[in-house]
Structure 1
Amino acid sequence: HAAGYAAVENVDLVAVSDSITEKVETIQKRYNVPEGYTNYREMIEREQPDIVSVATRPGSHAEITIFAAKNGVKGIYCEKSLCCSMAEADAMVEACTNHNVKFNYGTNRRYQAIYWKMRELIETGEIGDLQCIICHCGISAAQWMHTHTSDMMMYLAGDPEIEFVQGHIIANDSDWEENRLNIDPGIPMGYVLFKNGIFGYQLAAGGYEFEASGSKGKLRMLANGSGLQCQIGHEQPRLVEGIPRQRGTVTCIQNLIQAIETDSQTLGNIQLAHRSQEMILGFIESHRNEGRRVKFPLGDRNMYVGKKDW
């Protein structure tokens, strides 16, 4: 995140905190940061920053976010995954909402023009009535890469609420300790029905490509955002031209600043982050229940998914 702040005008990177002193000193030196701390609470209380970036492992995201929201921070940029349980996610939403804290989630594709263009073409009817979003994102870790998958599936579907999910994960019974899964499992298959009637499919196929299928044609994001392809009917696919490139991290920070200054909503707000986190945990809960449909909201808010060293 530090490089992103350094690239944004009218932003001063005033302090950094890490539990490891050597890391604090390295970041201070690399980005010319005046103050360094090994306790984030002390940093927030002393520095009173406008924005806090949460770039730790997921196990501490809820704790840091809630403390920041309750202690005067105006905006939070939180890395994925959001947290490790829906109880934590609920508490994060409550803290940010009660204190009017603006929040952006670190799912960077949401802040890139090529994905904006794909959603624009969907919403303007270029491919007819949207039927489904297909995510070719491989068997990746639920709380790592698939945070991007669930967020982009939602984004392209119009950010609707979720009716139910079904999923399959790669985990053994021995990985569970009561209501806690002590690994970050792979997800080879996920199925979502959104409340707006759009279907979502998360596949084991790789490439990090997203496909939107409509009644008249298809849009396909190629090779992790390298190009956007449009196919109408039986015509040959064509590349969509004229889409600018930009850095997602920088755009995310700029959007967060704008939301603070204008008291407006962010692009990756806490409610959307909460929803995409619930999708991931829903896939895991479905697998735990022999692949059954899991209706939303999830009943078990305390199921915890996270490695012990998080």
Structure 2
Amino acid sequence: MAKTFRVGIIGHTGRGDYGHSLDLGFLKAPNCEIVAVADADRSGLAAAAKRLSAPKTFVDYRQMIEEVKPEIVAICPRWIDQHFEMARTALELGCHVYMEKPMCQTLAQTDTLVNLCEQKHLKLALAYPTRYSPKLTTVQEMIHTGKIGQLLEFRARGKEDHRGGAEDLWVLGSHLMDLFLALGGAPKWCFAQMTKEGQPVEAADIYPGNEGLGPLAGDAVSASFGMPGGVTASFHSVKQMQGNPSRYGLQILGSRGIIEILEGSMAEVHYLDDPGWSPGRSGKEWKRVSTAGVGKPEPLTDERYKDRHRLAIADLLAAIENERQPLANVYEGRLSLEMIHGVFESTRLGKPVTFPLENREHPLAVWQQNS
């Protein structure tokens, strides 16, 4: 008989709420029992308790963990300035963690969480839905079997709405950094520039970011990453330059064609069998890709594939039971944050930077302090 895991939910109404409904993911997940919810906002706490049928409620998440002793803690708020203390508390008190992305504000914080996971033999998984998508496995197989020939380049863009630039890099770019890692491996270097109205940003341009992101600067980001095998990955975002339909997503370019993958638990994937990458010249057409293959109908249609968190939670439970790492684990979370910080550090120093970064604090905060 499958084990049932006791789950404690942490939200913060008005300061990141419950993220992209991480709480409801556990409500729907098999083999999970929500035993308590914590929220510093009392009205939000009452609403969450009703929504989740939670038997116990707390305004203090530490008290919840200490009294109820859940096996898994879900850290739901989107605002990342709270993530580190919430995750550290859960890990120190012996709980596995499922948390909203990005993991933390600084690399020093992620180093602490990695060490705690290792010391306590605990698992931490991040809510990157595409990392758990069976469509991602299909894309990985297409690359490895040579469907697009020799892998040459990754190209990604954020949503480029009012958050375009550094905020877009944090909020949406975080998903894309995780896809770079899943499909291309860990980068070796980063060379980036952040600009404001077309000019390189300076320390005086740094301002407090929205939603607890920490310091931000500029209205555009252009970044390149050196991936294994001589492949280059790029991320670009310009404020208020969004497309309709959105350009948000990743294109994987090879010597024989292109794969495009968007973000989601059943990510939309298209394939272009065109060595010239130009349908206007070749007459080739983009074809939809399912887990069954190019141009074939999707066989995976039940509810768990439509939910943003069910596949991730199932992977976390399997990782706990089988003593393996979750797919989007604490190490991958640190690497995706390192890529974001690599953009900031390269901008601060005005030159390429290599990984791992020597500076484990927030590069823009260091720049501002030293100016």
**TM-score under structure 2 length normalisation:** 0.75
Question: Is 2:87 aligned against 1:65?
Answer: yes
Question: Is 2:235 aligned against 1:190?
Answer: no
- In structure 2, which of residues 158, 167, 175 is the aligned counterpart of residue 148 of structure 1? 175
Please state how far the C-alpha of 1:10 moved relative to its aligned partner.
Answer: 1.8
Looking at structure 2, the residues matched to 167 and 15 of structure 1 have their Cα atoms a distance apart, in angstroms, of 44
Opposite residue 217 of structure 1, the aligned amino acid is G
Please state how far the C-alpha of 1:222 moved relative to its aligned partner.
Answer: 5.7
Looking at structure 2, the residues matched to 61 and 223 of structure 1 have their Cα atoms a distance apart, in angstroms, of 22
Q: Any idea what SS the aligned residue of 2:216 has?
A: coil
Opposite residue 190 of structure 2, the aligned amino acid is V
Question: Is 2:57 aligned against 1:36?
Answer: yes
Quick check: 204-213 or 48-57, which moved more? 204-213
Please state how far the C-alpha of 1:163 moved relative to its aligned partner.
Answer: 0.9
- Number of residue pairs matched? 301
Question: Is 2:153 aligned against 1:132?
Answer: yes
Q: Deviations over 1:277-303 (max 9, x none)?
A: 00001101111223x101111121122
Looking at structure 1, the residues matched to 126 and 260 of structure 2 have their Cα atoms a distance apart, in angstroms, of 24
Give the unaligned 5+ runs of structure 1.
none
**Who is 2:251 aligned against?**
211
Quick check: 32-41 or 245-254, which moved more? 245-254
CA distance 1:305–1:33, change in 2 (3 Å): farther
**TM-score under structure 1 length normalisation:** 0.88
**Who is 2:362 aligned against?**
303
Looking at structure 2, the residues matched to 262 and 24 of structure 1 have their Cα atoms a distance apart, in angstroms, of 34
Give the unaligned 5+ runs of structure 2.
1-21, 196-200, 208-212, 276-281, 290-295, 366-371
Looking at structure 1, the residues matched to 120 and 205 of structure 2 have their Cα atoms a distance apart, in angstroms, of 38
Larger Rg: 2
Which fold has the larger relative contact order, with Cα–Cα distance below 8 Å and residues 6 or more apart in sequence?
Answer: 1
Q: Is the 8 A contact 1:135 1:153 kept in 2?
A: no
Looking at structure 2, the residues matched to 154 and 257 of structure 1 have their Cα atoms a distance apart, in angstroms, of 22
CA RMSD of aligned residues (A): 2.5
Q: Deviations over 1:153-199 (max 9, x none)?
A: 22221xx222110122356633548xx95337655311100234321
Opposite residue 204 of structure 2, the aligned amino acid is S
CA distance 1:305–1:61, change in 2 (3 Å): farther
Quick check: 50-59 or 223-232, which moved more? 223-232
Percent identical: 24
**Who is 1:121 aligned against?**
142
Q: Is the 8 A contact 2:37 2:57 kept in 1?
A: yes
Please state how far the C-alpha of 1:228 moved relative to its aligned partner.
Answer: 2.2
Looking at structure 2, the residues matched to 92 and 184 of structure 1 have their Cα atoms a distance apart, in angstroms, of 27
Please state how far the C-alpha of 1:251 moved relative to its aligned partner.
Answer: 0.5
